[in-house]
Amino acid sequence: MILGIGTDLTNIERIQRTLDRFGDRFRNRVFTGAEQIRAERMKYPAATYAKRWAAKEACSKALGTGLRTGIAWRDMAVSNLPTGQPVMAVTGWARNRLEQITPEGYETVIHVTLTDAPPWVQAFIVIEAWPAGGTPKHPTRPSA
């Protein structure tokens, strides 16, 4: 069953301006260390940061809260499987919220897709639940 859907469209140039203005203060507030390492290894770090920003916005929407009621940017972390597929792990308040919306006897997976067409990036998140002990439709699960 689908528990939540979220999407976000972000402008890479806006993220670049924010990086230029606030630098590490912005990076450390929004992105985990692993996310920062990945972004800084890329040819265009701002595009990688923008994709992760969009994914976090979309995830907060899929959780049904947006970024208002206590959820922190770093409670949501985007990483990639060896195949390059993005995955989302949630901790802290975001993990608590996921547990609140998950029906008893069910497990969840957060599906993530990211795309870009500079200067734009888009993220789409679907939170899916299936009966505990069953097999998810998509077997890749991020570690929490």
Whichever domain contains 114, its CATH number is 3.90.470.20
Residue 139 lies in a domain: no
Residue 61 lies in a domain: yes
Residue 142 lies in a domain: no
Domain enclosing residue 50, as ranges: 2-131
Residue 137 lies in a domain: no
**φ/ψ bin of 92: left (φ > 0), alpha (ψ from -120 to 50), beta (otherwise):** left
Average pLDDT for residues 101-130, to the nearest whole number?
Answer: 97
Residue 93 lies in a domain: yes
Average pLDDT, the chain: 92
Q: Look up residue 7 and give its amino acid.
A: T
pLDDT of 69 reads 66
Residue 60 lies in a domain: yes
Whether the per-residue pLDDT at 143 is higher than 80: the answer is: no
Structural domains in the chain (count): 1
User: pLDDT digit string (tens) for 51-81?
Assistant: 999 999 999 999 998 766 667 899 999 999 9
Q: Look up residue 61 and give its amino acid.
A: K
